[in-house]
Amino acid sequence: MRLPLATLEIFDAIAREGSFKGAANRLGLQPSTVSHQLKTLEEQLDTALIIRTTRSLSLTEAGRALLRGAGPAFEQLADAVDSARSTGHAARGSLRLAMPEFVYKLYVGSAIQSFRAAYPEIELEMSFTEAFSDILGEELHAGFRLGDRIAQDMVAVRLTPPLKLAILASPRYLERRGTPRTPSDLLEHDCIRYRFQTSRQIAPWTFVEKGDDYRVEVGGPIIVNTLPTVVDLALQDQGLIYTFRDYCADEIERGDLVPVLEKQVGETPGIYIYFPREYRTMMPLSLFREHLAEFRA
């Protein structure tokens, strides 16, 4: 038997208001409709719920039993409806994001402190992954990635211009092995390669010549799958690395890492945030996007 929710709501209103007219006003119905729906419910349950007199009405034993059970349920339903109505439309609640570690370091991380200060009632949860996350399946609100190639039911918003790439090595490594002058010289060097954690593919080393891109199949004794490890190994004089230039901005400024082949190294698509179309007006996400844009302005 399906629950007669519509007639149960009318019964609950009659019991709380103490009259058909009061219930009708509360629900925006005609008194005759309220009376008819109550009669329908009593017929479905095959029992009387309310005793009617010319001056008042009272609940039967069955009516009191139904109110004890259904009353709290309707209060919970009302709370749930209010919660659903307000969720995502106020500067509070949770915001769950997926991003690669380099996005946090290059773009997101430095804005967290000021965002938390501005919106202390928004709970941030960040999941670090290089994969193109299933936003809905993983119960996330948004993700970050390079480029705007996403599923058709997602919205992609560009956050940065294209990111400059770089080939870097420590001064001690270059002193020991020499500085490559052309991309083909890399074939004689130890290159620390990066393997994508999801696809298991080795990240290509791509160069630009006369507007065309081409790859060099570099080699070396070390392959890793995290960018912090790539940088750490370069600082240990273990070889050349190929990564985002800004990711190593501090190391370059200190002279701990030196760029080589700068004219031949190109760039990669900028950072995009992507999210379901239904989340376009979600307040915590909108505030986070606006804060990132203002922070970087």
CATH number at residue 40: 1.10.10.10
Q: Per-residue pLDDT tens for 253-297?
A: 999 999 999 999 989 999 999 998 888 888 999 999 999 988 876
Average pLDDT, the chain: 87
User: What's the pLDDT at 76?
Assistant: 73
User: What's the pLDDT at 193?
Assistant: 97
The DSSP bridge partners found for residue 276 are 154
Whether residue 133 is found in the same domain as residue 276: yes
pTM confidence score: 0.69
**Number of folded domains that form the chain:** 3
Whether residue 128 is found in the same domain as residue 45: no
Least confident of 8-17, 123-132, 238-247: 8-17
Q: Which residues contact 135 (CB under 8 A, 6 or more apart)?
A: 98, 141, 142, 143, 154, 274, 275, 276
The yes-or-no verdict on residue 82 having pLDDT over 70 is no
The DSSP bridge partners found for residue 93 are 122
Of 140, 195, 157, the closest CA to residue 271 belongs to 157
Sign of the torsion formed by the C-alpha atoms of 135, 140, 141 and 146: negative
Q: Using DSSP, state whether 271 is helix, strand or coil.
A: strand
Q: Per-residue pLDDT tens for 21-76?
A: 888 888 888 888 888 888 888 888 788 888 776 666 778 887 787 778 777 776 77
Structural domain including 155 reads 93-160+270-296
Task: Count Cα atoms within 13 angstroms, Cβ side, for 237.
Answer: 8
Whether residue 121 is found in the same domain as residue 60: no
Helix 20-27 and helix 5-17, axial crossing angle in degrees, nearest 10: 120
Alpha-carbon distance 66 to 69, whole Å? 5
Helix 5-17 and helix 61-86, axial crossing angle in degrees, nearest 10: 110
Whether residue 102 is found in the same domain as residue 71: no
Whether residue 145 is found in the same domain as residue 173: no
